[in-house]
Amino acid sequence: MYKIVRKVELRPMVTLYEIEAPLIAKKSHPGQFIILRVDEGGERIPITINSYDPEKGTVTIIVQTAGATTEKLKAMKEGDCLADFVGPLGKATVIDGTKKVCIVGGGVGCAIAYPVLKAFHDAGADVHAVVGFKSKDLVILEDDFRAATSVLKICTDDGSYGQKGLVTDALKELIDAGNQYDEVFAVGPMVMMKFVSKTTEPYGIKTTVSMSPIMIDGTGMCGGCRLSVGGEMKFACVDGPDFDGHQVDWDIAVKRNQMYHDWELKKHEETCNLLKKEA
C-alpha cells in the first residue's frame, strides 16, 4: 500500500500529493510517469511525476480534479493509502547537450513541465518558460518557475495576471525577438501542444511534446495510447511520453483523446453524487 504522507491544495481543483514509494523514488527521472489506482477494482490513471526524493522515499504528483478517479483521490486524506502506485514508466526526457531551451506549459501541465525545466536548468542550460492559465487564481508553481528560469512569461486567458492571450503568442514574441532555441518543450492540453508545434515549425526549431493519451496498462500491451508519429505507430507509454511535435498526427491524437469524453463526464457526476451521500 502506498501512503499519502502530504496533501496540499494548490488551487480549488488542483492538489499536490506526496506518496510513500521508496523504490519508485530511487529510479525516477524527469519526464516519467506513474499509474495509480485509488482502490481495488478502480480505474488506472497515468500521472506524470512532479518530483521525487530518494532519501525520503517519496514521489510527488500534482493532480487536477476532472474525473471520477481524481474525485475519489481528492476525497482521500493524509495517512490514507492508494491501492496501486506503479512506476516509473516511460522514457526520461533527454536533457544533455541543450544550451538554450524554452519550456511551454499549459494549466496543470505546468506541474509536468517543472521537473523537466529544472533538469535543464541544473544541467546548465539557459531556460526560458511560457506558462498559460485561464485566470490568476489558477496559476501554480510560479515561484518554482522563476527560480529556474532567466525569462518567464505568464499568460492568462482573461488578462487577470501577466500577459493576456495564448502561450503561442508569447512564444512567437520570444522567437521573433531573436532568441535562438535549441529546443522548445511543450506540455499541456493536446490542442495547445499542437499549436505550439505549428508555431515553431516555420522556424525549424526542434519541438518536443509530452503526450498523455488514454492509457490502461502502461506497458504497451493494451494499445490504448497509440499515436501516429512520422507515419509510424508509437505507444506513448513505452516509446514516449516525449515525441517530436512536428511528426505527431495531431488530428488523430485529438480525436482519440476525446472518444470517452461523454462517458467520463457521466462517471464524474455519479462519483460526486456518491461521495456527497457518503459524507
Q: Grid coordinates standing for 234?
A: 508509437
| Angle value at C-alpha 18, between 266 and 44, nearest 5 degrees | 35
Is residue 47 within 8 A of residue 115, CB to CB? The reply is no
Q: Grid coordinates standing for 211?
A: 503526450
How many of the other CB atoms lie within 10 Å of CB of 181? 21
Is residue 196 within 8 A of residue 250, CB to CB? The reply is no
How many of the other CB atoms lie within 10 Å of CB of 110? 29
Q: What string of H, E and C letters represents the secondary structure of 119-185?
A: HHHHCCCEEEEEEEECCHHHCCCHHHHHHCCCEEEEEECCCCCCEECCHHHHHHHHHHCCCCCCEEE
At 68 the pLDDT is 80
Residue 44, burial from CB neighbour count under 10 angstroms (0-12, 13-18, 19+): middle
At 219 the pLDDT is 80
In order of start, what are the domains of the chain with their CATH numbers? Answer: 2-89 (2.40.30.10), 100-210 (3.40.50.80)
Predicted confidence pLDDT, tens digits, the chain (279 residues): 799 999 999 888 889 999 999 999 999 999 999 999 999 888 888 898 999 999 999 999 999 887 788 888 989 999 999 999 999 999 999 998 899 999 999 988 888 899 999 999 999 999 999 999 999 988 999 999 999 999 999 999 999 999 999 999 999 999 999 999 999 999 998 899 999 999 999 999 999 999 987 777 778 788 878 899 999 999 988 999 999 999 999 988 888 766 555 555 555 465 555 555 555
Residue 120 CB contacts under 8 Å (≥ 6 apart), including other chains: 95, 98, 101, 103, 127, 185
What global pTM score does this model have?
0.86
At 77 the pLDDT is 94
Q: Grid coordinates standing for 147?
A: 527560480
Residue type, 208: T
At 269 the pLDDT is 60
